[in-house]
Each structure stands twice: as structure tokens, then as C-alpha cells.
Amino acid sequence: MIKVDTFKENAFLIELMPNHSLSGFQRIAFFIILFGTCLVIGIFFFFMGATLVLPFAGLEIMLVSIGFYLNFKWSRQKELISISPELVKVEKGSLIKNFEWEEFRAFVKLDVQYNDKSKDLYFVSKGKKIKIGDFLNNDEKDSLITELTDIIQKLNSIVPG
């Protein structure tokens, strides 16, 4: 998901987040329903005499819980790109900021590299490449390229004064 805001005159903030089909509460509700169903089936078979089903139901619940946790953690990642006439700043993280990069806009170039099936977007400056929007799909990357190109053209057209 791409969200573009203007937070000052001629300063833009682009927020990038991965797509996810369920919100926080919906994810928890789905997990509880799945957990409850597995537990009820395991207890039912336990009382029917198949005692080995219950430990495997517990193992299944544990593995599904780990999968849900990893998916929740992955979908919380976020990238903030702020572009002003002077600076380009990239911040990456989820709940806390893990990575921050800042450079003068005059030295930064947007680089798009085409692979077999996808595109990779980079900000390049002084030999350093910062990958952006790695979790976006190709349509969203096309949209991001368009947004960044429009912002750069708008900022380049400003007469210093």
C-alpha cells in the first residue's frame, strides 16, 4: 500500500506498507476460530479413544501459531520516504525504526532495475544503493515509480529563490 502526503510546502512523505487482507482484530478472531476448532476436534477424538490425536492437535496449534506470528510480524513492516527540495530521507522498520538513511537530494538518483519477474527500486547516492518497496507487488511498484517521478519533476521545476 502506498500513501503520499504533502507535509510542508514542497515536501512529500510517502508511506509504504505491505498488503494484508485482514486487520489486527480480524486476524485474532480468525486465529481463535482456527485454534478452537482444532482443540474441539482433538478433545473429541481424545474422548473417543484416540488419545494420540490430542498431542498432534497441540503440535498443529503451535505450528500454526508460529506461522501467524511470523506473518503478523512481516505485515507490520513500514517504509517512510520523505522528499524535500533539499533532502531525501528513508526510514525502515515496523514498530521501531531499524534503518535510517538521509542524503542531499541533488546527489540522489532513482534507479529501477528489471529482473525476470519483478522490478527493484533503489535510491543511489555516492555509490550506495538503498532498496525501497521490496515488499510491494509490480503494480504498486509501477505506481510508486510514477509518484516518485512526479514528485521529482515537481521539485526540479521549483525556482530557487
Q: Is residue 56 part of a domain?
A: yes
Same domain, 28 and 97: no
H or E stretch covering 153: helix 138-156
Tell me what pLDDT residue 161 has.
Answer: 58
Domain-terminating residue out of 45, 60, 75: 75
Same domain, 70 and 82: no
User: What are the Cα distances from residue 23, in Å, to 107, 118, 150, 159?
Assistant: 39, 27, 31, 44
Q: What angle do CA 85, 14, 67 make, to 5 degrees?
A: 150
Same domain, 46 and 13: no
Count CB-CB contacts under 10 A for residue 15: 14
Contact by Cβ (8 Å): 78, 67: no
Same domain, 112 and 65: no
Domain-terminating residue out of 75, 92, 111: 75
H or E stretch covering 128: strand 128-132
Sign of CA dihedral 102, 105, 106, 108: positive
Burial per residue of 68-104, b for 16 or more beta-carbon CB atoms within 10 angstroms, e otherwise: beeebeebebbbbbbbbeeebbbebeeeeeeeebebe
Instruction: List the chain pLDDT tens, one digit each, 161 residues.
Output: 899 998 888 899 999 999 877 777 898 899 899 999 999 999 999 999 998 998 999 999 999 999 988 988 888 899 999 999 999 999 999 888 999 999 999 999 999 999 888 899 999 999 899 999 999 999 999 999 999 999 999 998 886 65
Same domain, 41 and 89: no
CATH, residue 111: 2.30.29
The domain in which residue 61 lies consists of 24-75
Is pTM, for the whole model, over 0.85?
no
CA–CA dist 85, 66 (Å, integer): 44
Tell me what pLDDT residue 21 has.
Answer: 77
Q: Is residue 161 part of a domain?
A: no
In total, how many domains does the chain have? 2
Tell me what pLDDT residue 118 has.
Answer: 86
Same domain, 43 and 110: no
Same domain, 10 and 87: yes
Same domain, 103 and 151: yes
Tell me what pLDDT residue 48 has.
Answer: 93
Burial degree of 140 (CB within 10 A; 0-12, 13-18, 19+): middle
Tell me what pLDDT residue 159 has.
Answer: 66
Tell me what pLDDT residue 95 has.
Answer: 82
Same domain, 82 and 10: yes
